[in-house]
Amino acid sequence: MRFRRTRLWVAGLVAFAFGFPLSEKAFAGFYNLIDSSIGLGLSIADSAGDS
């Protein structure tokens, strides 16, 4: 029973070690997407205001 618990902890640690950097990259990509969308919207609104 003790080895089963140890394996569970090791599997959780490995999943966290692999998942944490990937989630950071995914969040950075999501933030860049939102930032680009807002910038594009403001540029279009600015361009439409001048015409």
pLDDT in tens, 1-51: 566 778 888 888 888 877 777 777 777 777 777 888 888 888 888 877 765
pLDDT for res 51: 56
Determine the Cα–Cα distance for residues 6 and 3; give it in Å rounded to an integer. 5
pLDDT for res 36: 84
Backbone angles phi, psi at 37, to 5 degrees: -65, -45
Determine the Cα–Cα distance for residues 16 and 20; give it in Å rounded to an integer. 6
Q: What is the DSSP letter of 50?
A: H
